[in-house]
Amino acid sequence: MSTSRSASNAYLARLLSSIALVPPLAAAALSPAAAQQVLPGILVEGATLEAPPARRPRPAAAASSPGTATQVPAEEAEASGAPDEEAGIPAARLGTSVTVVTGEDLQRQQVRHAADALRSLPGVSVSRTGSPAGLTQVRLRGAEANHTLVLIDGVEANAGSDGTFDFSDLLTEDIERIEVIRGPQSALYGSNAVGGVINVITKSGKGPLRVASRIEGGSFGTKEGAARISGGTDRVWGSVTVQHRRSDGFNIAPEGALGEEDGNRLTSFSARAGAMLADNVRLDLGLRRVEKRGDRDDQTAFDTRDGFIIASDSFSHFNSTVLLMGADLRWDMLGGDLTHVFKATRNVTTRDDVQIADFDEVGDGSGFGNGFGPPSPFENTDEAYKLAYQATYRFATPGLMARHSVTGLVEREREAFKTRSDFGSANAARSQTAFAGEWRGEFLDRVFLSAGLRHDDNDSFNDFTTWRTGISVPIPEIGVRPHASAGTGVKAPTLIEQFGTTANFVSNPGLEPEESLGWDAGVELTFLAGRAVVDVTYFSADLKNKIRTEFISMFDPGRIIDCNPGDLFCSYPINLDGKAKRKGVEIASRLQVLPNLSLGLAYTYLDAVEEGGAREIRRPPHSARADVTYGFDEGRGLFQLAAVYNGEADDEAFGAPFFSPVVRLALDDYWLVSAAASYKVQPGLEIYGRVENLFDESYEEIFGYDTAGIAAYAGLRLTLEDGRLATGVK
């Protein structure tokens, strides 16, 4: 595949001539941390049901994960907005495979979209429809995109209509850390957590009064600005973050005749606040609102490649709004041994789309014409409300030299959706009640065990019960830590699959939940006095009752259903017989060569096949990453070079016309090489830049949609701080 990059290259040449620094990497500058990390500063909240112990101050210099070139001095971490406290369970005590990406990592490496930070991590596959604002899906260990549960400050962010979270909606300015928790987690979280959980935690705001701002510009007419204000005492604290990014974009239609650019803009607003209502009662509130607008191109059958339909130029566009709200009330009793948590969350996701490209230009239902028709709007709104109560009791059994925690949870959720289009409208709602429990045990400070069980009572499909267990055994004397986990996962049918009504689609209210059984086992090795860490993990999972969308032509005499009146083809979701299989190996390592020089390497082998043995689409069997990070001028400067490999992967394509059978084909493998640099001119003032896709690789993540060529960006960050605000947390 080849695409013209002349306009982008010309702009890049002009931009580079005015930049004095070699810039950093936004798409993948992350040093791959070991999947399990033994450093005491690495804590994990989302891999256990237990209400985390009370948050505590965190030394600013201990924030970095393995693979970062230099530790950050405390004053620099404060100025950069580093988190002032942490909560959770040390990763070394978890049998679950977890990778943690810190906010400091994201800032120094200039990652703007969270999905770009996830590309480098073991067991993670990312696919994006063209531009950064296009639909971006994340798959864990070969599972489907809607098998990845996404939590943002404890609020489930997945949309109920299709079960997915569009990662293009998640910017990084306010993120404290991202936890990638691999393996079935339905015993903790219920539906969606089949492949794993991505748990996003934003900055609380505790600490000195701090104002930080950033401006940036670069290729494709990109302009970006961000501002954040935060601060508070031990009794009251809060933060507000605003980030806006817009771009003229590039043409995501590989052979678009019009040559139009597909621009986009995104604005993210988030706020967090907290207060100690009493010495042992804490209230936390969170709000996040993201608005996005983007242009897109349609598969209209106007453009084809080798007889398969690819994206064609059009004037279609989309708008979306994501609103997440959450409130947590925590009450500690018995000196902290007993913790009660009351939670309320709300998720409202609205997606509007206007199609201004219609393969049926004459409007007679024939499916012929390949031209522009009248605008065709589609609107969808998802709403989810959740109330929960959980209690954790911690106690010791001195005779067994053990500590224990027991957690119980009761949860009530209601989700609903409504759609409106030229075809008609639909709305539906459903509810579920869940009961869950978990035990964690620590024996001799050497053996760490966990076991959990959950039952979900559903009103519109079969009830289900899930379980999970794990073990971790650190042996620091020889630098070895075996770890293993096993569990089950469940994915409920989506609201669209059960109740949706739209053109060329027929819903199936009789669908059964998808079910998965998975396990993993590995060993983490630490050597060279802790300067080197290698983790190797093998995983295996199966999936039954897999829901697949079948494409049906009215010309097929063996069709299983009739399409809607007037439709020549349609899609229909069904449960498949048999089991899909996923297995593989994850390897992650880092080596601190010198105090200011580190090397990282990650590799994933994935064997993900469908019931009939065909390879799952958009999940490369081989993916890898290598990077080098170098700090200079006593830590004021930082330079990084990274290379990401994405192996050959299968995808599906439509033949022309649309009612031709869907065909499997291969997407070529590709390398993405990026370079990054930043320099602290003086305290509170930093200049930075980055070059992405350094060798101008031409590649596709989804068949028929073009991707960005080489691009460069540069900017500066200004931070002001007033330390007179007493916090007691330094």
Which CATH number covers residue 476?
Answer: 2.40.170.20
**Mean pLDDT estimate for the chain:** 85
Let me know: does 646 contact 115? Beta carbons within 8 Å. no
- Residue 217, classified by CB atoms within 10 Å of its CB into exposed (0-12), middle (13-18) or buried (19+), is middle
pLDDT at residue 312 above 70? yes
Q: HEC profile for 620-660?
A: CCEEEEEEEEEEECCCCEEEEEEEEEECCEEEEEEECCCCC
Residue 411 vs residue 363, higher pLDDT: 411
pLDDT at residue 70 above 80? no
The range of the structural domain enclosing residue 365 comes to: 6-722
Peptide linkage before 657 cis (omega within 30 of 0): yes
Token pair belonging to 104 = 């400091």
- Please give the Cα distance from 553 to 227 (Å, whole number): 52
End-to-end CA distance of the chain: 55
For residue 63, what pLDDT is reported? 32
- Please give the Cα distance from 260 to 263 (Å, whole number): 9
For residue 21, what pLDDT is reported? 26
For residue 593, what pLDDT is reported? 94
For residue 151, what pLDDT is reported? 97
Looking at residue 13, the DSSP 8-state letter turns out to be: H
For residue 376, what pLDDT is reported? 81
Angle at 369 between CA 365 and CA 374, to 5 degrees: 70
pLDDT at residue 178 above 90? yes
Looking at residue 234, the DSSP 8-state letter turns out to be: S
For residue 156, what pLDDT is reported? 97
pLDDT digits (tens, 9 = 90+) for 80-138: 343 445 678 898 999 999 999 888 888 878 889 999 989 878 999 999 998 889 999 99
pLDDT at residue 26 above 60? no
Decide: pTM greater than 0.85.
yes
Residue 729 lies in a domain: no
Antiparallel, parallel or unpaired: β 501-502 and 505-506: antiparallel
Residue 509 lies in a domain: yes
Let me know: does 383 contact 416? Beta carbons within 8 Å. yes
pLDDT bin (cut points 50, 70, 90) of residue 2 is: very low
DSSP 530-581: TTEEEEEEEEEEEEES-EEEEEEETT-TT-SS---TT-SEEEEEEEPSSEEE
Which residue, chain included where needed, has tokens 């453009």?
303
pLDDT bin (cut points 50, 70, 90) of residue 67 is: very low
pLDDT digits (tens, 9 = 90+) for 694-727: 999 999 999 999 999 999 999 999 999 886 654 4
Let me know: does 589 contact 534? Beta carbons within 8 Å. yes
Residue-wise burial string across 449-479, b where 16 or more C-beta atoms lie within 10 A, e elsewhere: bbbbebebebebbeebebebbbbbbbeeeeb
- Please give the Cα distance from 163 to 149 (Å, whole number): 9
218 forms bridges with which residues in the sheet?
222, 713
pLDDT at residue 25 above 70? no
> Of 480-484, 531-535, 562-566, where does mean pLDDT reach its minimum?
562-566
Token pair belonging to 520 = 């993993």
Residue 502 lies in a domain: yes
Helix, strand, or coil (residue 10):
helix
Give the gyration radius of the chain's Cα atoms.
25
For residue 591, what pLDDT is reported? 94
DSSP 281-315: EEEEEEEEEEEEEEEEEE--SSSEETTEE--EEEE
pLDDT digits (tens, 9 = 90+) for 671-683: 999 898 999 999 9
Rounded to an integer, the average pLDDT of 15-24 is 29
Residue 727 lies in a domain: no
Rounded to an integer, the average pLDDT of 159-180 is 94
CA-closest candidate to residue 167, choices 146, 126, 141, 137: 137
Helix, strand, or coil (residue 244):
strand
Residue 218 vs residue 57, higher pLDDT: 218
pLDDT at residue 544 above 70? yes
Let me know: does 456 contact 490? Beta carbons within 8 Å. yes
- Please give the Cα distance from 93 to 449 (Å, whole number): 8
Residue 364 vs residue 654, higher pLDDT: 654
> Of 64-68, 109-113, 419-423, 589-593, where does mean pLDDT reach its minimum?
64-68
| Structural domains in the chain (count) | 1
Rounded to an integer, the average pLDDT of 439-463 is 95
pLDDT at residue 23 above 50? no
> Of 102-111, 263-272, 388-397, 613-622, where does mean pLDDT reach its minimum?
102-111
Amino acid at 235: R
- Provide the percentage of residues in the chain whose pLDDT is more than 90: 64
Phi/psi of residue 117, each to 5°? Answer: -70, -30
- Provide the percentage of residues in the chain whose pLDDT is more than 70: 85
CA-closest candidate to residue 721, choices 61, 85, 76: 76
Amino acid at 629: T
pLDDT bin (cut points 50, 70, 90) of residue 661 is: confident
Which residue, chain included where needed, has tokens 């080489």?
710
pLDDT bin (cut points 50, 70, 90) of residue 240 is: very high
